[in-house]
Amino acid sequence: MRDSRETSLTKAFVTGFPVKHSRSPLIHGHWLKQFGIAGSYEAVEVAPADFATFIAALKDGSSGFAGGNVTIPHKEMAFALADEPDELASELGAANTLYLRDGRLKATNTDGYGFLNNLDDRAPGWDANKNSAVILGAGGASRAIIQALRDRGFGAVHVLNRTEARGQELADRFGPRVHAGPMAALAERLSGADLFVNTTSLGMDDSDAIDIDFTAMRSGALVTDIVYVPLITPILMQAKAQGMKIADGLGMLLHQAVPGFEKWFGQRPEVTPEIRALIISDMEKH
């Protein structure tokens, strides 16, 4: 239960640096309107040097926020400054969702939840076979996905990264089912794999074009990309041309927003074709 002070707070935020490109206000604004909730969700740009002050004002209630989302570069600081990070955020060392409960600042990370729910929604049955997954990239987004796939029960999660040492750090962090390797191992790892996930900007400009042969993956395997601008990335285009099943990354953004909205505003929203269309039309405008 929320305490009485929190019940009167119906304001939430997304903070980052920069934050003006965030589509989260559009998503939460849509749900607020849909539920007829008298609340607000606003983008608040906070420079790294001011982040601790911002969190202090959140904790003591003076900012008037019930909580909010945190994006780059504040996710690690948000985790460190929270009173009660949950297990997911603690293992990642990063939080993207903050909320006040009984005067305490709680923190979680919903990126992995968003990733899994997007695939459950857009590619039902995608995890019927989960012997092995291949993830390209070892940045912040990759971590949450490694954690999510491990927790969904994948037998092996292979992290291939340009800087192999970064991949190795993640293998060490997430346990024996997670393995690091060089980009050169891609073809070998893809052979028989059930899932391929791109978390890098590779292929987005001509200077780093990449050719991947997905055809040796298990029949019926899925290829997905967490980059969602453009919706069908060069990697997804290649996979599709090779007859692979694909899922774009837009739903990860939509689904990761669900738990936060429920915590701040008390209603659990749904990711519908309507909200997906709303974001796609916004992407076409900018």
200 binds ligand ATR (CB under 6 A): yes
Report how far apart, in Å, the C-alpha atoms of 204 and of each of 136, 137, 210, 240, 267 are. Answer: 14, 14, 9, 16, 37
Q: H or E stretch including 167? A: helix 164-174
Using left for φ > 0, alpha for ψ between -120 and 50, and beta otherwise, residue 181 falls in: beta
Select the residue interacting with ligand ATR from 112, 137, 234, 269 (CB under 6 A). Answer: 137
| Number of residues engaging ligand ATR in binding (CB under 6 A) | 15
Q: Which two tokens stand for residue 42?
A: 């606003």
Residue number with the shortest CB distance to ligand ATR? Answer: 139
222 binds ligand ATR (CB under 6 A): no
Backbone angles phi, psi at 134, to 5 degrees: -120, 125
Measured distance CA(102)–CA(54) in Å, rounded: 19
142 binds ligand ATR (CB under 6 A): yes
69 binds ligand ATR (CB under 6 A): no
Select the residue interacting with ligand ATR from 70, 100, 138, 171 (CB under 6 A). Answer: 138
Select the residue interacting with ligand ATR from 102, 151, 208, 270 (CB under 6 A). Answer: 208
Select the residue interacting with ligand ATR from 48, 125, 139, 220 (CB under 6 A). Answer: 139
Q: H or E stretch including 168? A: helix 164-174
Instruction: Pick the closer one to ligand ATR by CB: 163 or 267.
Output: 163
Backbone angles phi, psi at 62, to 5 degrees: -70, -20
Instruction: Pick the closer one to ligand ATR by CB: 125 or 139.
Output: 139
140 binds ligand ATR (CB under 6 A): yes
Provide CB contacts within 8 A for 103, sequence distance 6+: 3, 5
Measured distance CA(98)–CA(41) in Å, rounded: 13
DSSP string, 75-131: HHHHHHH-SEE-HHHHHHT--SEEEEETTEEEEE--HHHHHHHHHHHHSTTTTS--S
| Candidate list 11, 20, 75, 263, residue with the active-site label | 75
Query: Is 106 an active-site residue?
Result: no
163 binds ligand ATR (CB under 6 A): yes
Select the residue interacting with ligand ATR from 166, 173, 218, 240 (CB under 6 A). Answer: 166
Select the residue interacting with ligand ATR from 97, 110, 118, 161 (CB under 6 A). Answer: 161
Select the residue interacting with ligand ATR from 162, 173, 177, 240 (CB under 6 A). Answer: 162
233 binds ligand ATR (CB under 6 A): no
User: Minimal distance in Å, beta carbon 140 to ligand ATR?
Assistant: 3
Catalytic residues: 75
Footprint of ligand ATR (CB under 6 A) = 137-142, 161-163, 166, 199-202, 208
